[in-house]
Structure 1
C-alpha cells in the first residue's frame, strides 16, 4: 500500500514537473518574440493563403501579400458598423445622446464568449459611479475600444442591418461579405439540436453542409427571436456547454470575410479626412481614434485609429495614422488557422510592429525587401 502511495505521489510530481517545464518553454518562446516575427510568419505561411497583408505608406503600396484573399474579419468588421453609426448621427437619424439601458444591452451579452470584453466595458462605467444608463455614443465607443459583441449586435438592431450592409458598396468595395449578428450566430448549433432533435455530431455535419446564406439567415432569425423572448441566464450558460472547439471553428470560419486590400482602402479613406463629410468625422473620430486620448501619442501623431479582432483561430488588425510630419500609413493584416503559439505571439508583437513601421525608416525598408517578393 505504501509503495502504491509513493508511486502515485511520484507520478503526480513528475506530471507537475513536465507541465512546469512546458509552461516555462512556452513563456520563454513568447517572451523572445520581436516585430521581425511577422516577417518570419509570412515567409512560412504566405503560400497557405490563410494570411494576408496590405501596407500603404505615403500613397505607395509598400507591401501586398494575398491582398485579394477573403479571410474572416472577426471584430475588425466593427469598423463598418462604426461608419454607419457616424453617418446616421451626422444625418440626424440617430441621437448620440440617447440613453441606453445597460439591462437592455445585457440581452445581447453572453458571458465567456467575448474574452471578457463586455464585462470590462461595464466595469469602466460601474467603477466611476453606480449607473444603469449610458449614451448611445458610449455604446459605439465600447464596441471599438473594448470590442463588445453585445454593443455591436445592439447597434446592428438600432442602425439596421440593411443600412450597415450598404456601407461597403458606398466605399467602392465589392469584396466584402454581408454582416450579421455576431452573438446570435453562436446559438445556431443549440437551436438546430433543439428544433431538429440532432446530436452534437449530427449538428456538426448539418453546419458543415449549410449554405452560408442560410447560416446568416439563421443568425438573423435567432437575433429577432431573442429580442421578443430574451434569453434566460440558464440558456446562456447552456451555450458554453454546447460550443466546443469544433463548433467554435465553424463559427469563426463563417464570420464576415473581406480582404486586406479592401480594408487598406477603408483605412485610406479614414486617414485622408477627405472622403467623409466633416460632420461624419465629428462623430466617427472619437470612436475610431481613441488612441489619441493618450498624451504620448498626441506628441507625434496628428491622428491615428485602429481596430483589431481575434477568435481562437483568427487574428486581424486594420489601422491608419498620420504623423506630425505628414507621413501617412495604412495597414491591414488578416490571418486564419493560427496555432495558439502563433496567436499569442501576434498579440504580443503587433503593436510594436506597427510602431516600428511608423517610426523607423530602416525597418520599413526591411519590410519591403523581405516581403515584396512573396
Structure 2
C-alpha cells in the first residue's frame, strides 16, 4: 500500500480513524483530531515519561538490578507479538538486567511484561498523573496490559465457569471494575506467578472474542493531544535536560542508525497494534531545522487491513517527514473531506 493509498484508506474508514500532522508549527492535517480512540502500545510513551521523571529526580535508580524471573511473572507467550522474546534475544538473556534495560525493552521492543513491571515499580497513580502534567486533558487511565487480557481466564478459574460465561461477565463489567480487576491480577502475579501449565491454559483462552474485548477497552486518547505531546518532546524545552537524558534513549532508537543521522537532528516514535487497532505518534527535527509532529489512530480494522496498513506504516511515516508533495497531497485530500 503506497502512502497515498494509506491516506485513501483513512478517508474511507472515517468512523474509526484520526490523524494530525504538524510541520513547523503549522497544521498540515487535522482529521477528527478530537475523536477518542484506543492507543495500544503508543500509550507507553506516557510510561516512559514517568520513568524518566522519576529517574531524573533520583526516586528510582536506572542501574538497579532486576531479575528476569521477576519480569517473567508478567510474561505470557503470544500476548505481544514476540516482543519480549525479541528483547531477551537482543540482551542474550542477560540476568539480572538493569531497570534502564527494562525500560528499553518496553519502548524499543514493546515488551508488555516489562511494561506491566514498570507500571508496578513507578506506581499506577504516578503514571496516570503524567497526562495532566504535560497538558493532556483527554487521556483515559493506563492500567496493566497483560493482566487485563487475562481477566476472562482468571474468572473461569475463580468462579468455575466456562470461557463463554467469563466473556459474558467481562462484557457486562463496568470499565472501572475491569481496571481494578487488572490491577488485582497484577498484584497476585507479583506475589504468586502463574505456573507454566496455567500460563499455557491462559494462552489457549485468548480467542478473538477475548482479544476484542481487551482491545476495545484499552486506554484512549486523541490525535490532537498526542500531536501536542509530540511537540513538547520535539522542542526539548518542556522537560528538563535531566529528564531528556533518561527519556531520549527510550524514545529515539531511530538515531542509532547512521543513515538517519545523515538527515535528522533527532526523532522519536512509538507505535501500537492489536488485531483491530493500529496507532503511532512521532516527532522529528531534521538537520535543516524543519520540525514535524504526527499522530495517527485507527480502530475496528479487519485483520487483512490491519496487516496491510502495518506493512505500509513506515513508508507513510517517511513520506510525512521527507516529501513536501505528499504533505500537500494530504492537506488537499483531507481538506476536501
Smaller-chain TM-score bracket: over 0.9
Q: Does 1:73 align with 2:36?
A: no
> Which residue of the partner structure matches residue 159 of structure 2?
196
> What is the aligned-residue RMSD (CA, Å)?
1.0
1:367 and 1:343 map into 2 onto residues whose CA distance is: 21
> Which residue of the partner structure matches residue 336 of structure 2?
373
What's the TM-score, normalizing by structure 2?
0.98
1:84 and 1:284 map into 2 onto residues whose CA distance is: 9
1:143 and 1:345 map into 2 onto residues whose CA distance is: 25
Length, aligned pairs only? 337
Counterparts of 1:1-374 in structure 2 under 5 Å? Answer: 33-46=1-14, 48=15, 50-126=16-92, 131-374=94-337
For structure 2, the residue ranges without an aligned partner over 5 or more in a row are: none
1:154 and 1:123 map into 2 onto residues whose CA distance is: 19
SS of the aligned residue for 2:275 comes to coil
Q: 1:194: how far off?
A: 2.3
Q: 1:91: how far off?
A: 0.3
2:308 and 2:26 map into 1 onto residues whose CA distance is: 28
2:26 and 2:251 map into 1 onto residues whose CA distance is: 23
Task: Write out per-residue CA displacement over residues 196-229 of structure 1, whole angstroms, 9 at most, x where no aligned residue.
Answer: 3322222222111110001000000111111111
Q: 1:94: how far off?
A: 0.6
Which region of structure 1 is more displaced relative to structure 2, 88-97 or 200-209? Answer: 200-209
2:78 and 2:87 map into 1 onto residues whose CA distance is: 14
Q: 1:347: how far off?
A: 1.1
Which region of structure 1 is more displaced relative to structure 2, 291-300 or 339-348? Answer: 339-348
1:334 and 1:42 map into 2 onto residues whose CA distance is: 10
1:221 and 1:373 map into 2 onto residues whose CA distance is: 48
1:85 and 1:250 map into 2 onto residues whose CA distance is: 29
1:55 and 1:308 map into 2 onto residues whose CA distance is: 15
Which region of structure 1 is more displaced relative to structure 2, 245-254 or 339-348? Answer: 339-348
SS of the aligned residue for 1:370 comes to helix
Following TM superposition, the consecutive aligned residue runs of length 4 or more in structure 1 with deviations greater than 3 angstroms are none
SS of the aligned residue for 1:165 comes to helix
2:193 and 2:7 map into 1 onto residues whose CA distance is: 46
Q: 1:252: how far off?
A: 0.7
SS of the aligned residue for 1:191 comes to helix
Task: Write out per-residue CA displacement over residues 125-160 of structure 1, whole angstroms, 9 at most, x where no aligned residue.
Answer: 11xxx6311111111111011000001001111110
For structure 1, the residue ranges without an aligned partner over 5 or more in a row are: 1-32
SS of the aligned residue for 1:109 comes to coil
SS of the aligned residue for 1:372 comes to helix
Q: 1:34: how far off?
A: 1.0
1:306 and 1:40 map into 2 onto residues whose CA distance is: 23
1:373 and 1:268 map into 2 onto residues whose CA distance is: 26
2:336 and 2:115 map into 1 onto residues whose CA distance is: 38
SS of the aligned residue for 2:268 comes to strand
What's the TM-score, normalizing by structure 1?
0.88
Q: 1:61: how far off?
A: 1.4
